[in-house]
């Protein structure tokens, strides 16, 4: 089945082998609620790394029986991140999730050369699923949170991760828009040059499993009408599954505009590691964190 709404992830994960989630300092209410929901609905098992008494107390405040979790006691913030990642590294868990821990500590643990999760030569990239009421299907976006100024090689890696996610959620031939300010290739606008190179690579079979076009302005990716008005003939126009951004500023601005002004819902995972790493914001609600867990479960 092709996932068109975040809720469809539930059907996709249901019935699969249950994976184990390690949560780094899972002692904030939204994280506890999201993880408990995933456990109670039978999607995952969970190991909560942190202060057991605090997690148990918060769980009870939310009407959650804390016995549904396994616990690993750690008090220090950095130690929580290291231990959660170690559980995945050692094979006790299949995916890791950031709880009430600084992103710096979380990413440092993932990148640790001895006990981390980054294979040699790989690139970490943030992949986001976005459900927005004004669009007819899910959008997959990269990179809005990890790579500030991706090189051409990093953009290709970002694209391949997004294509893999699309395949895992049932989109056999995703349509990819390499985003720039306009469709004209100019050496004065590096985003257009990289987009053109990636598009040619896809047409020649160097990037497989997707229909790729670029450079495309974001209105072309969203709207066939805009493409017709501008005279742009693109197989991706108005039907993009994947948006690849030139830098983090563009990606993050679009992402936050969609989520805050257009009431978009999100799920997000860091790809490229040996296991999916859930990296949500402390301000994300429990729905976003819940669907991020399910997204990770499809990738684990």
| Residue 108 pLDDT > 80 | yes
pLDDT given for residue 15 in this prediction: 81
Distance, CA of 291 to CA of 298 (rounded, Å): 11
Beta-carbon contacts of 10 under 8 Å, excluding residues fewer than 6 positions away, are 41, 43, 294
Distance, CA of 111 to CA of 81 (rounded, Å): 11
| Residue 16 pLDDT > 70 | yes
Q: What is the pLDDT of residues 22-33, one digit of tens each?
A: 999 999 899 999
pLDDT given for residue 282 in this prediction: 66
Q: What is the pLDDT of residues 155-174, one digit of tens each?
A: 999 999 999 999 999 999 99
Q: How many residues does the chain have?
A: 300
Nearest residue to 88 via CA among 75, 77, 72, 102: 72
Q: For residue 102, give both structure tokens.
A: 């600084």
- Residue appearing with tokens 């396994």: 70
| Residue 50 pLDDT > 70 | yes
Task: For residue 21, name the pLDDT band (cuts at 50, 70, 90).
Answer: very high
| Residue 189 pLDDT > 90 | yes
pTM: 0.94
Domains of the chain: 8-118+273-299 (3.40.50.10950), 125-261 (3.40.718.10)
| Residue 285 pLDDT > 90 | no
Tally of CB atoms within 10 A around 129: 27
Nearest residue to 130 via CA among 300, 295, 297: 295
Beta-carbon contacts of 280 under 8 Å, excluding residues fewer than 6 positions away, are 97, 98, 268, 288, 289, 292
Q: What is the mean pLDDT of residues 130-139?
A: 95
């Amino acid at each position: 089945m092709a996932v068109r709404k975040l809720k469809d992830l539930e059907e996709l994960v249901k019935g699969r082998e249950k994976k184990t989630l390690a949560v780094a300092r899972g002692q904030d209410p939204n994280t506890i609620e999201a993880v408990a929901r995933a456990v109670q609905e039978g999607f995952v098992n969970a190991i909560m790394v942190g202060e057991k008494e605090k997690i148990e107390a918060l769980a009870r405040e939310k009407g959650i029986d804390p016995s549904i979790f396994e616990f690993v006691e750690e008090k220090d913030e950095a130690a929580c991140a290291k231990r959660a990642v170690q559980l995945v590294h050692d094979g006790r868990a299949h995916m890791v999730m950031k709880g009430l821990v600084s992103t710096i500590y979380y990413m440092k643990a993932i990148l640790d050369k001895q006990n981390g999760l980054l294979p040699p030569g790989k690139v970490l990239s943030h992949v986001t699923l976005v459900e927005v009421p004004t669009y007819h299907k899910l959008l997959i976006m990269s990179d809005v949170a990890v790579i500030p100024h991706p090189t051409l090689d990093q953009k290709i890696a970002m694209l391949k991760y997004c294509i893999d996610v699309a395949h895992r959620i049932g989109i056999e031939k995703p349509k990819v828009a390499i985003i720039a300010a306009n469709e004209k290739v100019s050496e004065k606008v590096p985003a257009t040059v990289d987009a053109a190179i990636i598009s040619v690579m896809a047409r020649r079979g160097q990037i497989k499993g997707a229909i790729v076009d670029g450079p495309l302005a974001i209105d072309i990716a969203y709207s066939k009408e805009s493409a017709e008005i501008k005279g742009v003939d693109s197989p991706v126009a108005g039907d993009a599954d994947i948006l690849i951004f030139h830098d983090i500023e563009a990606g993050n601005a679009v992402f936050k505009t969609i989520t805050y002004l257009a009431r978009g819902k999100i799920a997000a995972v860091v790809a490229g590691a040996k296991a999916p790493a859930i990296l949500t914001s402390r301000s994300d609600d429990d729905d976003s964190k819940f669907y991020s867990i399910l997204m990770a479960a499809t990738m684990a």
